[in-house]
Amino acid sequence: LSSMSERCSQGNIFHFVVFKCRSFSGYNFSLCEFCVVADSPGRPVGLFTPPDVYNSTTLLLSEDEETLFVGARDALLSVNVSQRGGLVLNQKLDWSPTEKDLNDCSMKGKKKTDCPNFVRVLQVLNSTHMYACGTFAFSPRCTYISIKCFIFIFSCIKVYSGFCVPLCVLDGELYTGTVADYRGNRPIISRHLSEGEHVDVKLDDTMGWLEDPTFISSTFIPSEEKVYFFFSELAGEYDFINKFTVSRIAQVCTSDVGGQRTLQRRWTTFTKLPYNVLQDMTTLHPPEGASEDDTLFYGIFSSQWSVNSGRSAVCAFRLRAIKDVFSGNYKYLNRDTVKWSTRVQEKIANPGECGLHNASDNTLRFVKENFLADESILPVNQELTIVSPDHQYSNIAAQRVRAAGGKDYTVLYLLTETGYLHKAVLLDKGAHIIEEIQVFTKPQPVKNLLLSVTKGLVLVGTSEGIASVPVSNCSYYSSCAECVLARDPFCGWDLSRRACVDIDSVRENVGQDVEGGNVSEVCKPRLRSFSLKSPASELVYVSLNEVVHLRCPAASHLAQLHWERLNSQISPKIYMQHEDGSLSFLATPSTLGQYLCQAVENGFTQTLYVYQVRQKSNPTVQPSTPSRPQITRTSESGRGSTDATTKGVTTPQTKDETVRKYMDIRERQLLAKNPSYLQELVVVSVLLALCISALLTIALFSFRQRCHIRTAPHSPGSRRDAERAGEDVSHEREALKGNAPGAGKQNGHAHGVAKSPNSLSNGALNGSNGHLPNTPI
């Protein structure tokens, strides 16, 4: 219990219930978790997490919608959904691979985490048996299960070589889209468990009729006796450098048994047509009495280009438009050039037409080469139903709801990859998002989204457990305005109960406007029976010159928030309103007072929150100038009141002081509105003058030093030394020229002085160590 409570405490879970659960082998009781998650206000989300059960991603409802069958990792579950309090586990079947199967899976080079048996297929065959398929350590196996006893019928286990993904069961016959080997290289669409005159048939995989497909879903149209498959694959009809993925709709006839000589035990009615990249598809059958041509297919599409990543679109296709495309022209594949082109020759047969299994070989050869429709199917009204630039949808479910006025509306349930469930209603003017419900706190892959119309639940299968979300919660809207503005076809304002109720409980005297959400027309005649919800109020104490932040809780993403003050305006020069609707301003005597946060939607204004901003009272007494103490009249006890300052209350101000202080406050406000930069200008000017003065001082000092060096007087000794140095220099110059007087007298001898450069360089002079006279060594 402690571990369960700890798990329930994560993710903002406020409640959990422990149910008794019965295993398939007996009546042994175990504990099962059912947590109620409160991530979205007013919309509790139930999370069913049985112990030791993981990857519960495959869901199937029984025909009476009283039992939910769950395919998980190494297990099958039978869950009771008839309980009002939540989901209750009935039985659990263990379906695990043996040690030998796990070793064989490892020998194939697969990861250990991929080798368990993940149940991918659950299909009801008839009133007594169910069909299940699992990966089973990359050796897929299928088996029959007794619905009443919920036990395996082991004698009926069938083993296939590929991942079996049945998409439709008709009269005990299984129509599947799968691959013929565990590498996924041979995709096929086939029929198994054929009865009577029917035989098992499949596609001729040598023709390349499927190019790396990803199967999404399928549906059966009884009047057409056809099964439609929805999948995505690589497109070979476009000459692009990169691989281009398109979505397809393929059809086969349930009466097809293959050709007699050509296409033996192969589909003779297989055809396909292209449209955009498909993520999920759901079928909405027409109401009673309408033609099956009005069957609608709602699909989620995404872009394969990185520029549009993270965006999704929902499109609706009508069965009549699909039939028109299938009955049109088809492309022809040239086997020599491997190029697709539009056939200009006359058609020998209509590809996809039922009954071609009895046609001639020439006709079947034509059908074999012409299976791709030339045109693409266009959505209803040639426009997108929903476009979401911010959310990427992964799963979709749809239902038709009748409003209080008798008009039918289509409600879509769209699950985002970030864990939010969007509930949208399709109106004449376009789609309207009613509410956004947070199902998961962390993003996780979702494999199945199931809608139980009779129980009013949306079931989501994840790796953590099974989440159940009610389709509506009308009691969350506490006023007539909120009930009408929601524009939920499930909800209406009951005049007698004075509450927003489910319209199934009362059909008369109900206020509702799904198309327009006009509060004034719906709620005005009922003003006596309802009053707007009293807005929440809060008293905020602030100090002067303090930044104040006031937040406003948004009632709807479609409403526009704005703020109001009594007898005053919210000026953008003083106030700042943020994107989330909150208001910020500086606390001054003029900004204190009452603030109203209001929401405007469809012309209706509603007050959501009221703030009363007041100044904090100063607990300490500021010293004041001495004044004459004010003496009040004594009480009956004879004690007079002391000076007001001794009680912590300031003395009453005179009229002049009040006016002076008001003028000071007004002057500060004017200065705050029109700030002056005179002080800053004076400071900068003084600094600039000081810098210039310093530079001039340094320059004058340098110039004076230079002049002083040049004009400085010299001493006599230094002057004589300079004269002697000058005479010596002159003698040296004369000696170099050979004209020095007395040059021939040296040690009493006279030597001839060489007049040529050679004699000078050879040192012809004697004495003085061979150097020139008066030449420094």
Which letter does DSSP use for residue 696 in this model? H
What are the backbone angles phi and psi of residue 717, rounded to the nearest 5°? -55, -45
- Co-location of 460 and 599 in the same domain: no
Pairwise CA distance, residues 667 & 675, whole Å: 11
Mean pLDDT of 229-256: 83
Which residues are CB-neighbours of 729 under 8 A, at least 6 positions away? Answer: none
The answer to whether residues 4 and 112 belong to one domain is: yes
pLDDT range class, residue 276, cuts 50, 70, 90: low
- Is 507 a domain residue? yes
Q: What pLDDT is attached to residue 357?
A: 80
For residues 40 and 125, membership in a common domain is answered with: yes
Tell me, yes or no, whether 448 and 547 share the same domain.
Answer: no
**Alpha carbon distance 262, 423 (integer Å):** 50
In a domain, 341, yes or no: no
Least confident of 81-95, 247-261, 759-773: 759-773
In angstroms, the CA 284 to CA 316 distance is: 10
Per-residue CA distances from 76 to 169, 377, 457 (Å):
20, 39, 21
Residue 298 has pLDDT above 90, yes or no: yes
CATH number of 571's domain: 2.60.40.10
Banded pLDDT at 651 (limits 50, 70, 90): very low
What pLDDT shows up at residue 49?
86
> 3-class secondary structure for 652-676?
CCCHHHHHHHHHHHHHHHHHHHCCC
- The mean pLDDT value for 359-363 works out to 86
Confidence of residue 186 (pLDDT cuts 50, 70, 90): confident
pLDDT-derived band at 757, boundaries 50, 70, 90:
very low
Tell me the β-bridge partners of 6. Answer: none
Yes or no: say if 105 and 137 are a contact pair by the CB < 8 Å rule: yes
- Contact yes or no for 89/75 (Cβ under 8 A): no
520 with 551, same domain? no
Q: Among residues 493, 514, 488, which one has the least CA distance to residue 429?
A: 514
Both 92 and 155 in one domain: the answer is: yes
Which stretch of 136-140, 438-442, 471-475 has the lowest confidence by average pLDDT? 438-442
Single out the residue in 526, 545, 566 at which a domain terminates: 526
Q: Is residue 420 part of a domain?
A: no
**Within 10 A of 383 (CB to CB), how many other CB atoms are there?**
11
The predicted pLDDT at position 767 comes to: 43
Pair 579, 461 in one domain: no
Kindly report the average pLDDT of the chain as a whole number.
Answer: 76
**What is residue 373's DSSP assignment?**
B
The residue to which tokens 């429709």 are assigned: 373
Question: In which domain, by residue range, is 575 found?
Answer: 536-615
Q: Is the pLDDT of residue 495 over 50?
A: yes
State percent of the chain over pLDDT 70. Answer: 72
> Tens digit of pLDDT for each residue in 591-631?
999 999 998 888 888 888 999 999 988 654 444 333 333 33
> What ranges make up the beta strands (E) of 628-749?
none
pLDDT > 70? residue 755: no
- Are residues 457 and 483 part of one domain? no
**What's the average model confidence in pLDDT over 215-226?**
88
Q: What is the rounded distance in angstroms from the CA atom of residue 559 to the CA atom of residue 586?
A: 27
What are 52's two structure tokens? 């030791």
- As given in the structure block, the two tokens for residue 190 are 């086939």
Q: Average pLDDT of 702-723?
A: 65
Neighbour-count burial of 633, counting CB atoms closer than 10 A to its CB (0-12 exposed, 13-18 middle, 19+ buried): exposed
The CA distances from residue 318 to 21, 239, 295, 354, in Å, are 45, 30, 6, 21
**What distances in angstroms separate CA 152 from CA 75, 155, 457, one per listed residue?**
12, 9, 29
Task: Supply the pTM of this predicted model.
Answer: 0.71
Separation between Cα atoms, residue 201 and residue 613, nearest integer Å: 78
The domain boundary, picked from 469, 486, 513, lies at: 469
Q: What letters, b where the CB count within 10 A reaches 16 and e where it falls short, cover 79-100?
A: bbbeeeebbbbbbbbebebeee
Model pLDDT, residue 540: 93
- Of 576, 598, 615, the position where a domain reaches its end is 615
The answer to whether residue 504 sits within a structural domain is yes
Please indicate, yes or no, if residue 676 is contained in any of the structural domains.
Answer: no
In this prediction, residues 406-422 reach a mean pLDDT of 91
Return the pLDDT at 21: 37
Measure CA of the first residue to CA of the last residue in the chain; give whole Å.
Answer: 110
Q: CB count, 10 Å around CB of 527?
A: 10
Rounded Cα distance, 609 and 483, in Å: 19
Number of folded domains that form the chain: 3
User: What pLDDT was estimated at residue 744?
Assistant: 42
Output the CA–CA distances (angstroms, integers) from residue 478 to 83, 482, 491, 511, 596, in the order listed: 27, 7, 12, 14, 20
In this structure, the answer to whether residues 90 and 22 fall within a common structural domain is yes
Q: What is the pLDDT of residue 165?
A: 61
Instruction: State whether 95 and 25 are in the same domain.
Output: yes
At 627, list the tokens: 């004044």
Q: Which amino acid is at 612?
A: Q
pLDDT of 717 above 80: no
Q: What is the CATH number of the domain that holds 478?
A: 3.30.1680.10
pLDDT in tens, 652-690: 333 344 334 434 544 555 455 555 678 888 889 999 999
Rg of the chain over Cα atoms, rounded to whole angstroms, equals 47
Residue 453: both structure tokens together: 């119309």
Confidence of residue 23 (pLDDT cuts 50, 70, 90): very low
Label residue 7 by pLDDT band (50, 70, 90).
very low
Domain assignment present for residue 561? The answer is yes
pLDDT digits (tens, 9 = 90+) for 547-593: 999 998 877 778 888 899 987 888 888 999 988 889 999 999 999 99
Q: What value, to the nearest 5°, has the Cα angle with vertex 387 and ends 382 and 393?
A: 120
Contact between 98 and 55 (Cβ < 8 Å): no
Within this chain, do residues 491 and 609 fall inside the same structural domain, yes or no?
A: no
Q: Indicate if 465 and 478 belong to the same structural domain.
A: no
Cβ of 775: how many Cβ atoms within 10 Å?
12
pLDDT of residue 183: 64
Cα 436 to its chain centre, rounded Å, is 13
User: Is residue 116 domain-resident?
Assistant: yes
